[in-house]
Amino acid sequence: MSKNFLTRGHARALNRHHKIAVAGVAALGAAAIGLSATPSDASTTTTSEAAPAARISYGTEPIEDVRGTITDQLAASGVKTELIAAKKQAAADAAAEKKAAAAAAKEKVQREREAGEAASRSGDRHWGGERGGAGERAEKPAPKSYSDNLDGWIRESLDIMDKRGIPGSYEGIHRNIIRESSGDPKAINLWDINAQNGIPSKGLLQVIPPTFAAYHVPGTSKNIYDPVANITAACNYAADRYGSMDNVYSAY
């Protein structure tokens, strides 16, 4: 009975070891199969611990010297394009404004010119004082007329002398004309010393040709026999030599 007990105990013990051995063999077999499936040049590391998870740290400091992304570059390019377009538009607007201002100024000048011309035409149709108003001008008086006789000749000469600053009076001129030519504008002296010298005295105030040419007054005839031209030139000569025709009482 004891022998059987030991045998059974031993059998039970062997059975436990056998199971452990079988398990070990099975594990080795599985490992062998795994190794045979792995390429000869590959290495496999087996660990019983899980690989630790990678840790990500987040910093609060700004990152410098990093180039912008494509989006940032496109955005910057768009802003630059908009700035260029805005400058072009501003220049165009300024040019248009300047052109409009020049056109307005030109139009204003044209209106003022037309208004002045209209006022001038209106003023020419009216005498001074007849109509008041800015821009209107008095009509110029008609040229003064003189009678074609001794009185008219003297008066016309006096008006010319007054404009030229030549002194003389109606009485002084008339007195000398009567003494020199008796009022004949075609009178000529053929007997005095001037005639003997070949330069006879001619006209209302008996002026010799050289004196007439030297004292001729612009605006009058160059014909020595013209009554107005003759009187005016003689009075101009008398004013230069005697101060005025009024101071002449004899041959001069």
Residue 203 sits in a domain whose CATH number is 1.10.530.10
**Number of domains, the chain:** 2
With respect to residue 202, please indicate whether it lies within any of the assigned structural domains.
yes
User: Token pair for residue 82?
Assistant: 């908009």
Asked which of 87, 113, 142 is the last residue of a domain, the reply is 142
Structural domain that includes position 112:
74-142
Q: What is the CA radius of gyration of the chain?
A: 68
Q: What percent of the chain has pLDDT over 70?
A: 60
Judge contact between 237 and 215, C-beta under 8 A: yes
Say if residue 155 is in the same domain as residue 130: no
Say if residue 99 is in the same domain as residue 187: no
pLDDT at 5: 41
Say if residue 93 is in the same domain as residue 160: no
Say if residue 157 is in the same domain as residue 90: no
In whole angstroms, what is the distance from residue 203 CA to residue 187 CA?
5
With respect to residue 122, please indicate whether it lies within any of the assigned structural domains.
yes
Give the model confidence (pLDDT) of 79-107 as tens digits.
Answer: 677 778 888 888 888 888 888 888 888 88
Asked which of 90, 125, 142 is the last residue of a domain, the reply is 142
In whole angstroms, what is the distance from residue 75 CA to residue 234 CA?
100
User: Could you identify the residue written with the tokens 């160059």?
Assistant: 222
Phi–psi pair at 131, nearest 5 degrees: -135, 135
What's the pTM value of the predicted model, to 2 decimals?
0.47
| Mean pLDDT for all residues in the chain | 75
Say if residue 129 is in the same domain as residue 187: no
Say if residue 128 is in the same domain as residue 157: no
For the chain, strand residue ranges (E) read none
Give the model confidence (pLDDT) of 181-222 as tens digits.
Answer: 999 999 999 999 999 999 999 999 999 999 999 999 999 999
Determine the Cα angle at 202 with ends 169 and 232, to 5°. Answer: 30
pLDDT at 219: 94
